Structure 1
Amino acid sequence: MRSWALAWQLARRFRRGRERSGFLSFISASSTIGIALGCTVFIAGLSVMNGFADVLEERFLKLVPHIQFTAVEGALQYPETIFQLAEQHPEVVAARPVIRTQGLVQKGREFVGVQVTGLDPSTPHAISEYMSARSWQALHEPGAMVLGADLAAKLNLTVGDKFTLVVASERGFQAPKRQALTLAGTFRFGGQVDHQLGYVSLATARQLVGMEQGITGVELELSALFAAERVANEIGYQLQDYVFLEHWMRAQGHLYRDIQMVRTVMYLVLVLVLAVACFNIVSTLVMTVQEKRRHIGILRTMGMRAGGLVKIFVLQGLQNGMLGIAVGVVAGSLLSLNLPALLTLLESFTGSSLLASDVYFVDRIPVRLQAMDILWVATVALLLSLLATLYPAWQATRISVVKAISA
Structure 2
Amino acid sequence: MLTFKLAQRFSERRSRSGLFAFIASSSTVGIVLGCAVLIASLSMMNGFENVLEQKLLKAVPHASFTKVEGTFDNWARIVKIAKRDSRVAEAYPVIKQTAMLRSGDQFKGIMLEGIAPNGPHPSATEFFTDGARAQLNQLNTIVLGQGIAHTYGVEVGDTLELLVADKSSQQFRSPQRHRLKVVGLFEFGGELDHQMGYVSLDTARVIGEIKHGVSTVELKVTDVFQAPQVANSVGNQLPELVYVDHWMRTQGHLYRDIELVRTVIYLVLVLVMAVACFNIVSTLVMTVTKKRPQIAMLKTMGLDNRRIVATFFWQGTLSGLKGAFWGSLWGVALASALPQIILLLEQALHFQVLSDDVYFVSEVPSVWCWIDVVLVCCVAITMSAIATLYPAWRATQIEPAQALHEHH
Shorter-chain-normalised TM-score: which range?
over 0.9
Amino acid at match of 2:156: V
Give the superposition deviation at 1:247: 0.6
Give the superposition deviation at 1:14: 1.2
Secondary structure of the equivalent of 2:131?
Answer: helix
Q: Do 1:190 and 1:359's aligned partners in 2 also have CA atoms closer than 8 Å? A: no
Root-mean-square deviation over aligned CA pairs:
1.9
- 5 Å-filtered alignment, 1:195-344, equals 195-344=194-343
Deviations 1:290-315 (A, max 9, x none): 11111111111111111011100111
Give the superposition deviation at 1:165: 1.9
Overall identity of the aligned pairs, in %: 44
- 5 Å-filtered alignment, 1:84-103, equals 84-103=80-99
| TM-score normalised by L of structure 2 | 0.93
Deviations 1:358-381 (A, max 9, x none): 444433221111000000000111
Deviations 1:156-178 (A, max 9, x none): 44434433322224452353433
Please say if 1:104 is aligned against 2:100: yes
Amino acid at match of 1:61: L
Q: 1:297 to 1:107 in 2, by over 3 A?
A: closer
Structure 1's unaligned 5+ residue stretches are: none
What is the alpha-carbon distance in structure 2 between the residues aligned to residue 214 and residue 77 of structure 1? 4
| TM-score normalised by L of structure 1 | 0.93
Return the match for 1:49 from 34, 45, 51: 45
Deviations 1:331-351 (A, max 9, x none): 111111122222233233223
Worse overlay, 271-280 or 19-28: 19-28
Please say if 1:173 is aligned against 2:171: yes
Worse overlay, 360-369 or 386-395: 360-369
What is the alpha-carbon distance in structure 2 between the residues aligned to residue 333 and residue 156 of structure 1? 41
What is the alpha-carbon distance in structure 1 between the residues aligned to residue 347 and residue 130 of structure 2? 33
Return the match for 1:130 from 127, 147, 162: 127
| Aligned positions, number | 403
Deviations 1:245-273 (A, max 9, x none): 11111111111111111112122123211
Amino acid at match of 1:315: W
Q: 1:391 to 1:350 in 2, by over 3 A?
A: same
What is the alpha-carbon distance in structure 1 between the residues aligned to residue 105 and residue 308 of structure 2? 86
- 5 Å-filtered alignment, 1:137-176, equals 137-170=134-167, 172-173=170-171, 175=173, 176=175
Secondary structure of the equivalent of 1:379?
Answer: helix
Give the superposition deviation at 1:124: 4.3
Q: Do 1:76 and 1:215's aligned partners in 2 also have CA atoms closer than 8 Å? A: yes
Q: Do 2:110 and 2:196's aligned partners in 1 also have CA atoms closer than 8 Å? A: yes
What is the alpha-carbon distance in structure 2 between the residues aligned to residue 153 and residue 54 of structure 1? 27
What is the alpha-carbon distance in structure 1 between the residues aligned to residue 158 and residue 367 of structure 2? 42
Please say if 1:40 is aligned against 2:36: yes
Amino acid at match of 2:68: V
Secondary structure of the equivalent of 1:46?
Answer: helix
Structure 2's unaligned 5+ residue stretches are: none
Please say if 1:183 is aligned against 2:179: no
Deviations 1:79-134 (A, max 9, x none): 33431232222221111101101111234544321111011001343232222333
Q: Do 1:76 and 1:217's aligned partners in 2 also have CA atoms closer than 8 Å? A: yes
What is the alpha-carbon distance in structure 2 between the residues aligned to residue 159 and residue 347 of structure 1? 29
What is the alpha-carbon distance in structure 2 between the residues aligned to residue 17 and residue 53 of structure 1? 44
Q: 1:153 to 1:388 in 2, by over 3 A?
A: closer
Counterpart in the other structure of 1:365:
364
What is the alpha-carbon distance in structure 1 between the residues aligned to residue 153 and residue 315 of structure 2? 70
Secondary structure of the equivalent of 2:289?
Answer: helix
Worse overlay, 35-44 or 292-301: 292-301
